[in-house]
Structure 1
Amino acid sequence: MKALLLAVLLMPACASAGSLIAQRTLPAGTIIMPTDVAATAEGDGLPDNISQVVGQQLRVIVYEGRRIEASFLTAPTAINRNQMVTLAYEKSALRIEAEGRALSAGSVGQVIRVMNTASRVTVSGRIAPNGTVVVEQF
């Protein structure tokens, strides 16, 4: 038994080009957790490492036991459509903040359109990691 375990541990890493499968049915929009996926030795599909998919969001439904393709994944949505957000304009030591309503959904780093609720002006800004939308002067 120890010899079998030792043989398995000493196998080359390149021999196990596998894929990831869903442990349960995962609806579209699910943020993948480590317990949601399992690695298999079968297949040549990407991704093949659990750390590559944990924290990603599914674009489509994946049924239990089915393979998770790279095209099924996207960056997690940070701001949803119609969500109230903080607009921020920064220049040197000046920072102006206002409340706005997101006109589209987006993830961190994407540019979305936001309507300032006070003035009803529509502006574009980049989503910051803290959830604010930073308006840049173009």
Structure 2
Amino acid sequence: MTRPLTFLHMAFLLASGCMVSMACAAGSSTSVQVDLSADVAISQKRFTLGQIAVVKTDDNEIRKTVESLEVGQAPRVGYVEQYTKEELDRLIHSRVPLMRAALDWHGAKAVKVRAAGHSLDNAKVVESAREYLAKELGAKFKRVELNSAAPVADIELPTGEVSMTCRPLEMGRLYSRAPIWVDIRVNGEVYRSVVVTFTIKVAQEVYVAKRDLPAGTIALPSDFETRTEDVTDNPEGLVSANGLSEATRLRKAVGRGQMLRREQLSPEGLVFRGDSVKLILAEGGVVIETRAIAQQDGVVGQLVKVKPETSAEAFSGRVLVGGVVQVEGK
């Protein structure tokens, strides 16, 4: 007596049928021919089997699957990677486990893969660095002279949109040689970084003393002439033209023909011993002003001893500004 099929039995038989069909498909002997190229230039970052070989088969699904297999990453420009038939055969069978048929290989025994690219003229890299440096220095100095200090080789790049950017230069201290790093981008990503070195000369209008000026001299702009001088060695320490007030006390001597440096100027508000200063005494709403002789050096905010011209007694006063002292007590 035949027992009626239950739902579970039917489901089991259907599932078994599917598994058999899959096994038959897996064991099919669909012919797949692969014609391997000998040398291929790749323009993308990664490449597939279809880019290095021609796949022929009657089964379009198998052909598309084999062609789309990712083989690897394209080498950098100037380098070559080689893949043999045996390596590619193992790759295909490991990636497509349902395909049991042997591959019919034709063409080269191995394929050499290189990145498609082009040379970037070194003059373009140098000019990019020169334009950046000239702009940066030109904003600070009257004259800038730049000369390439070392050769830059042509650069091999992959295909794509090329752009160049220069890394910011530390301007705190200027040297006679400056390396400028140029980042070369392909399609927005940094591919190479190249250093371009320049020798630098910069000139600025500065004050040059017409005569010897001892320390303590009240220097006037008329004591100097303005010249455009090479200031490469110490551009930050020099007083540029129009940077000198009407009357400035010299802290250090300046020799005739020497350029004026900031370190030779006294700080603003400085009072020297022996200076004639205005002395202010304010008490109870009464303000008295007279002249006095400073007995000490001092800067704004500092207490110094002063002696009125009409008195032999010294007073302690605070420096308000250059040449002005306010009495605070005996």
The TM-score with structure 1 as length reference comes to 0.59
Q: Which has the higher contact order (CA 8 A, sep 6+)?
A: 1
Q: Which runs of 5+ in 1 are unaligned?
A: 1-11
Q: Residue 19 and residue 82 in structure 1: after superposition, are their counterparts in 2 closer, same or farther (change >3 A)?
A: closer
- Determine which structure has the larger strand proportion and give its number: 2
Q: What secondary structure is seen at the aligned counterpart in 1 of 2:317?
A: strand
Partner of 1:22: 208
1:64 alignment partner, SS class: coil
Provide the secondary structure at the position in 2 that maps to 1:71: helix
Q: Which has the larger radius of gyration?
A: 2
8 Å CA contact 1:88, 1:97 repeated in 2: yes
For residue 226 of structure 2, the aligned residue among 32, 35, 38 is: 38
Deviation sequence 1:33-56 (CA, Å, 0-9, x none): 156131424114333422222432
| Counterpart in the other structure of 1:125 | 317
Partner of 1:89, secondary structure, is strand
2: CA distance between counterparts of 1:113 and 1:62?
29
Map 1:1-138 → 2, pairs under 5 A: 12-16=138-142, 18=204, 20-28=206-214, 29-34=217-222, 36-43=224-231, 44-45=234-235, 46-54=237-245, 55-75=247-267, 81=274, 83=276, 87-91=279-283, 93-96=285-288, 100-105=292-297, 111-115=303-307, 118=311, 120=313, 122-128=314-320, 131-136=323-328
SS in 1 for 2:306: strand
When normalised by structure 2's length, the TM-score is: 0.30
Root-mean-square deviation (CA, aligned residues, Å) is 3.8
Provide the identity percentage: 20
Q: Residue type matched to 1:93 in 2?
A: G
SS in 1 for 2:243: helix
Judge conservation of contact 1:99–1:118 (CA < 8 Å) in 2.
no
Are the structure 2 counterparts of residues 110 and 39 from structure 1 closer, same or farther at C-alpha, using a change threshold of 3 Å?
farther
> For 2:263, what is the secondary structure of its paired residue?
helix
Q: Distance in 1 between matches of 2:240 and 2:263?
A: 15
The question of whether the paired residues in 2 share the 8 Å contact of 1:23 and 1:64 is answered with yes
Q: Across the two proteins, how many residue pairs are aligned to each other?
A: 125
Q: 2:318·2:325 contact (CA, 8 Å) conserved in 1?
A: yes
How far, CA to CA, are the matches of 2:251 and 2:220 in structure 1? 11
Whether the 8 Å CA contact 2:209–2:259 is kept in 1: the answer is: no
**Aligned in 2, Cα 1:126/1:27: closer, same or farther, shift over 3 Å?**
same
| Partner amino acid, structure 2, of 1:126 | R
